[in-house]
Structure 1
Amino acid sequence: MINGLFLVLIASIAFAFTTTEQGPPQPTSAAQRSSGPHEAAAAPLPAARPLRVTVPAIGVDAPLTDLALQDDGHLAAPPETDANLAGWWAHGPSPGTRGTAIIAGHVDIPAGPAVFYNLGALRSGMRIAVLRADGTTARFTIDTINVYDAADFPDDTVYADTGRPELRLITCGGGFDRARRQYKGNVVVSAHLTR
């Protein structure tokens, strides 16, 4: 299991907004609850390396780079040089296989908003697709969008193997601590494979 504190690392790589900017959207309380059953879960796909993630509702179409754990047990963040790059935890399940696959991305980088800036604006029932190296596309339906405080990040809830193919998209959120120059937590989108 990944150490949930890796998200603090991603959260600490935050770049100051001007005092007039409101920052990235945050999930509403309605988004944090599933609006009821959606499509039934699909059968797991064979393992294949993910190449791209798309989230049409917020205009995301991003290549994926492999991410690994650092010596301290935290997941390394994607490079800050490309605003449209997300990363996949390459030692975990690949998106579409049984288990919980993790894709992380920056909310902002020195140049401005980044790939997952609008993650908090998603809603239950919206779609995510992951193009895979075997030519297939794993399609997911969003169940919930939550924001967690970095100090109380629920590892077991976020990373647990639920017995079906699931996906988590993760970025910084929960408000910005200007004194410490970092986000206070993380936005986590939970989705399940639907075809």
Structure 2
Amino acid sequence: MTVRRAGATLALVLALAGCGGAAEPPPPAQAQAPVPSSVPVTVPFKGLRPTSVKIPKIGAESSLLAVALKPDGSISVPSVHTPMQAAWYKLSPVPGDTGPAIVLGHVDGDRKPGIFFMLKDLAPGDEVDVDRSDGRKLKFVVDRVTQVPKETFPRDAVYGNSNEPELRLITCGGAFDHAEHSYRDNIVVYAKLAS
């Protein structure tokens, strides 16, 4: 699978996944063919990685698992039984490198709040700290927070290349659709490197 297709597929899967509201990502029958992005996707993970994320304002702190796509095209997310575990999408840049690094986490799971339960409460100026395996400690500053319907997930804005180090934090939000076992929206936090 090419990096471009992997990025497009991830965007589709995140737009459809339960983000903690369901034990498993949706079955492939629910997925549609990925829509090619007009913006190039960044290079894949090659060893260096983020090790933890901390968001002081909302009391969120987690180590970071490195995740990719499963053979069926769905994303390997942390278990819904460990909703306080966050993950870094390893086909996105390492935080601190040029481009948008993608970190995702559950809003809830096992009837408990998840690591990104309060992500929607962030505002411009709030800080997100990321540690890396090379010892660098990075501070990102929130630029904006959006809530978007999953069917109109802003692929290019979230996954497209940028000229500077950026961070995207993604979880589910909005109303819970009991028939689909999924939240209707995604919360996306956009942040830029401060130090």
Structures share fold, TM-score greater than 0.5 = yes
- How far does the alpha carbon of each residue in 1:161-184 deviate from its partner, in whole angstroms, 9 at most, with x for none? 121000000000122123333100
Give the superposition deviation at 1:9: 4.3
Distance 1:61 1:12 in 2: 18
Aligned pair 1:169/2:165, yes or no?
no
Question: What is residue 64 of structure 1 aligned with on the other side?
Answer: 64
SS, match of residue 11 in structure 1: coil
1:8 to 15, 31, 42: 15
1:88 is the counterpart of 2:95:
no
Give the conservation status (yes or no) of the 8 Å contact 1:68–1:75: yes
What's the CA shift for 1:191? 0.3
Aligned to 2:144, the other structure's residue is in SS state: strand
Question: What's the offset of the Cα at 1:157?
Answer: 1.0
CA contact 1:12–1:181 (8 Å) conserved in 2? no
Q: 2:51 is matched with which residue? A: 51
Q: Runs in 1 of length 4+ with deviation above 3 angstroms?
A: none
Offset from partner CA, 1:93-115 (integer Å, 9 cap, x none): 00110011000000011141110
Q: Which runs of 5+ in 2 are unaligned?
A: 23-46
**Aligned counterparts of 2:188 and 2:63: Cα–Cα separation in 1:** 19
Q: Which residue number corresponds to residue 156 of structure 2?
A: 156
TM-score by length of structure 1 reads 0.79
Give the distance between the partners of 1:140 and 1:12, measured in 2 at CA.
23
Counterpart residue number, 1:35: none
| Aligned AA (1:147) | Q
Q: Is 2:101 aligned against 1:101?
A: yes
Number of residue pairs the alignment of both structures matches: 164
Q: Distance in 2 between matches of 1:97 and 1:90?
A: 13
In 2, the alpha carbon distance for the partners of 1:168 and 1:72 equals 24
- For structure 1, list consecutive stretches of 5 or more residues without a partner in the other structure: 16-46
Give, as a single letter, the amino acid of the residue that structure 2 aligns with 1:142: V
Root-mean-square deviation (CA), in Å? 1.6
Task: Write the distance in 1 (CA, Å) between the matches of 2:56 and 2:164.
Answer: 23
Bigger relative contact order, structure 1 or 2, given CA contacts below 8 A and separation 6+?
1
The SS at the match of 1:95 is coil
TM-score using structure 2 length = 0.79
Contact 1:10 1:106 in 2 (8 A): no
**Alpha-carbon distance between aligned partners in 1 of 2:119 and 2:193, rounded to the nearest angstrom:** 18
Q: What secondary structure, in the 3-state scheme, does the structure 2 residue paired with 1:141 have?
A: strand
Contact kept, 8 Å, 1:11 with 1:171, in 2: the verdict is no
Alignment of 1:178-189 (within 5 A): 178-189=178-189
2:122 partner amino acid: L
